[in-house]
Structure 1
Amino acid sequence: MTIYYNEIFQFVKKNVLDREVAQDITQETFTRAIKSADRNVIENERALLYRIAKNVMFDLYKEKYKVDKISFEEDYHIDESDNIEVTMIEDEQTAFLLKEVENLPTKRRQAFTLHIIDGYSREEVAKMMNITINAVEKHISRASNQIKENLGKKESDNDK
């Protein structure tokens, strides 16, 4: 299994762009793979390692996403803006958008978040999610359309 270490490390490093984080993710990948090998017969070690590496990267992303939400809430409490009404409206809109993103189907949400929020290219998202670039584009397009549609519904509900 260790013969794939450098390959997995390069794959992770290419996706996270931070050498130390890539080393941590690679180490966690091999730790999980070894635990899995103790419980199950592994037919394709390389495929298992790639799958685990992607899962660890997504776990890290989810953890990071939660931290961003907490810091956003902290900013709300310490904001000393002169115009509280504008701040409250902006916060409400941001909260609504976050809720809409969270309500997207899993693959659609992942593609949308990785590309639009985190700034990864469509090609990078395709590699991270192990899907085609065309599929990434469809997920992003459908996510955008779904969010726009729900925003339109919210505005029409507010007009009533």
Structure 2
Amino acid sequence: MKTLVVYDSAYGNTKTIAEALASGLGRKAAAVPVDRFDAGSLKSGDLLVVGSPINGWRPTPKITQALADLAARGLAGVRAAAFDTRLKLFIHGDAAKKMSRALKDAGASIVASPMAFYVKGSEGPLLKGEVDRAVAWAEKLRAGLKDRGSLGDA
């Protein structure tokens, strides 16, 4: 089973979270920029985590296109989750929820609620503790999948 964390990042904050997630998901996990992602490499049983900064209240255009491409090929048997990076505001948009819905509509099995990680200012940096929260969320994802017997020794 393959574990991929696919992301787009404008200022490096989403990349940092993606790399922390890959670290927490285990030695077989990899963080991959969306423009180097090969959707054809996904197979049933794989874990796909998709991340984007909020861009105009939604995922970036590159992530939106990647999700459309995934929907066209289908994600039957693929397990998935989504996250975004955003400002901590009362009104902020929810790219992770939109990505999670797109993954589900493409046929993926959603294994976790959408997750938000917070930045200070539109360019960051990440708020203190967000990288640790990302690792903890990844470890929770990994433990949940292991309990279901699907993650092996990732």
Q: What's the TM-score once normalised by structure 1's chain length?
A: 0.31
Higher helix share: 1
TM-score of the two chains, using structure 2 as the length reference: 0.32
Greater RCO structure (CA 8 Å; 6+ sep): 2
State which structure, 1 or 2, has the greater radius of gyration over its C-alpha atoms.
Answer: 1
